[in-house]
Every structure is written in structure tokens, then in C-alpha cells.
Structure 1
Amino acid sequence: MTRILIRAALILAAVALAGTAEAKGCLKGAVVGGIAGHMAGHGVVGAAAGCAIERHEANKKDKTIRQGDRDGSAR
């Protein structure tokens, strides 16, 4: 239990120090990935993977929106 609390504190500290511009999608992915990874015995790896996947999806969405704006079409 103590290890979980220490990890949670470290993760919260890392999130607090991270820039908000890069966190888009990461927090939700980290939570979901961390829970799924915890069930499989690899919570930290799951959180990192969840963050990376959600960040990738957010980038894809932003790119699609930017391309739509350049083409002159409405969102």
C-alpha cells in the first residue's frame, strides 16, 4: 500500500511540473492505462502507454481540425 501511495505522489508531482500544452489527452490515458496495467501487474507501464496513446490521438484530431481550417471547410 505504501508503494502505491509513493508512486501516486510521484506521478502527481510529475504531472504538476509538466507543461499543460503537452498534457492534452495524457491525463485521461494515464489513468485508464494505469488502472488496466495495475490489473495486469504493470501499472506504471500501463500509465505511460495510455498517456502516449491518448497524446497520439489528440495530435491526430488536432491535425484533422487544422487541415479542415486550411481547406476553408467548416468544422
Structure 2
Amino acid sequence: MTFVRSTLAAALAVLAIGSFTQAQAKGCLKGAVVGGVAGHYAHHHAVLGAVGGCVAGHELAKHKARVAREKAAQQHATAGN
């Protein structure tokens, strides 16, 4: 029964996370799914894993976007000379 409860809790967490707008949820859903699965296997902490995965995925997506913007700005500045 605990597997069913943890799976249901993870599914509800993913659905709640899915209610964010696209800009806010970038990277969050994928991180939540991966974190939820990992948390489930780590002593049945699927919800905690989903939340942590969401945060980590969102931060990673922000970092990748910032690096891409900086690279594009550098290429634009180099091409302008």
C-alpha cells in the first residue's frame, strides 16, 4: 500500500508543478519526475525527491539559458566587428 501512496503523491506533485506557467516550469517537470523516481527508491521519499528534482531542474535550465544568452551576445559582438 505504501507504493501506491507514494506513487499517488508523486503524481499529484507533478500535476501541481504542471500548473505553473511555461516560463516558470522550464526544467521543473523533468527534474520532478527524475527526483520522484529517485526519492521513491531512497526509502520511499518520492514527494521530497520530486520537489528537490523540480528545484534542481529549474536551476539547471536557468543556468543553461544564461550560458546560451551570453554565448549569443558574444557571437553577436564578435560578428559586429
Structure 1 pair 50/60, CA: closer, same or farther in 2 (3 Å)?
same
Identity of aligned residues (%): 44
Higher relative contact order (CA 8 A, sep 6+): 2
Runs of 5+ unmatched residues, structure 1: none
Measured after TM superposition, the shift of residue 6 of structure 1 is: 4.3
User: What is the total number of aligned residue pairs between the two structures?
Assistant: 73
Residue deviations 1:6-50 (CA, integer Å, cap 9, x gap) = 422x32441342111111111111111000101112111101111
- Name the amino acid aligned to 2:32: A
TM-score calculated relative to the size of structure 1: 0.78
- Aligned to 1:17, what secondary structure does the other structure show? coil
| Partner residue of 2:67 out of 61, 64, 67 | 64
Residues of 1 paired with 2:14 and 2:60: CA distance?
23
After superposition, the CA RMSD in angstroms is: 2.1
| Partner residue of 1:46 out of 28, 46, 49 | 49
1:55 aligns with 2:72: no
Q: Is the 8 A contact 2:6 2:47 kept in 1?
A: no
Residues of 1 paired with 2:68 and 2:33: CA distance?
26
Aligned to 1:35: 37
- Name the amino acid aligned to 2:68: I
